[in-house]
Amino acid sequence: MRLTAPTTALLSLTSAAYAQTSSSTDPGYDCHPTCIPSTVAANASATLSFGRHYAVLNLDLINALVAPLANTTAGAAFISNTADWITAVHAQVPAPLSIFTRIYFANAHQPELGPDTPFAAVGGALGAANDTETMLYPAFHVDAAAGDTVLQKTRYYAGAGNALEEILRAQQIDTVVLSGIRTSGVILSTAYRLFDLDYTVYVIANNTIETAPNDPDINTNILAGILPKIPVAVITIEQAVAALNRSGPAIY
């Protein structure tokens, strides 16, 4: 993969930031509240690549979920890491397939939700596509010219009610790299589903977070316990950017 100047600079910045914020000897999570170890061993990390047929999934990065966390330490780190990752992906030449998801409904009547639909307790306060709460948080940029795709969804799973699986098949994707909010919602459900569909799944630990009032240990338990047992690879932002620069040229 040809490295652009912004990507090279970003890799240096993330490495420097890690050195300042992590007390671990290995690349690690931002330690909110716990440093999450990577499931990729150090010797394998040095050659980690996503290949050529990979897609980047940026899940549920909407105002309703992200904005309430923006003024917290963990939330600010999550936003910064995820935005930097999206920038690094866009800097690749050619850029890989990037898919963003938004939770919203067909209209204000929310026809996708029945009176007894369990998901109504989670997403029932969200409106249609024109509801600003359902729009992507401003820190996260979609590059339409590069082919970024934004999909509507109406449940936890990233492919609920949309063409996600059709797109992945059509583009001959074999590997997906996940970022998003919440870890216990869209990340976990999507990791399970795409693993079952025989994709190689990576989750960037730094680019995941829980929303209040959930105990932050939930995030730790999923990243360090549940996902590795599936098994899904849990990697750090440093490993992800380095692997990105070893990958490709992306086929999209």
124-163 pLDDT per residue, tens = 999 999 999 999 999 999 999 999 999 999 999 999 999 9
HSE, side-chain direction, 13 A CA sphere, residue 6 = 10
The DSSP code for 109 is T
| Cα–Cα distance measured from residue 127 to residue 116, given in angstroms and rounded to the nearest whole number | 18
Q: What is the pLDDT of residue 14?
A: 39
Q: What is the pLDDT of residue 10?
A: 40
What pLDDT band is residue 7 in, cutting at 50, 70 and 90? very low
Q: With 90 as the cut, is the pLDDT of residue 175 above it?
A: yes
Class of CATH domain 5-223+236-246:
alpha beta
Q: With 50 as the cut, is the pLDDT of residue 38 above it?
A: yes
What pLDDT band is residue 32 in, cutting at 50, 70 and 90? low
Are 237 and 243 within 8 A, CB to CB?
A: no
- For 47-65, what is the mean pLDDT? 97
| Cα–Cα distance measured from residue 15 to residue 239, given in angstroms and rounded to the nearest whole number | 10
| Cα–Cα distance measured from residue 11 to residue 87, given in angstroms and rounded to the nearest whole number | 11
Are 168 and 176 within 8 A, CB to CB?
A: yes
Domain residue spans of the chain: 5-223+236-246
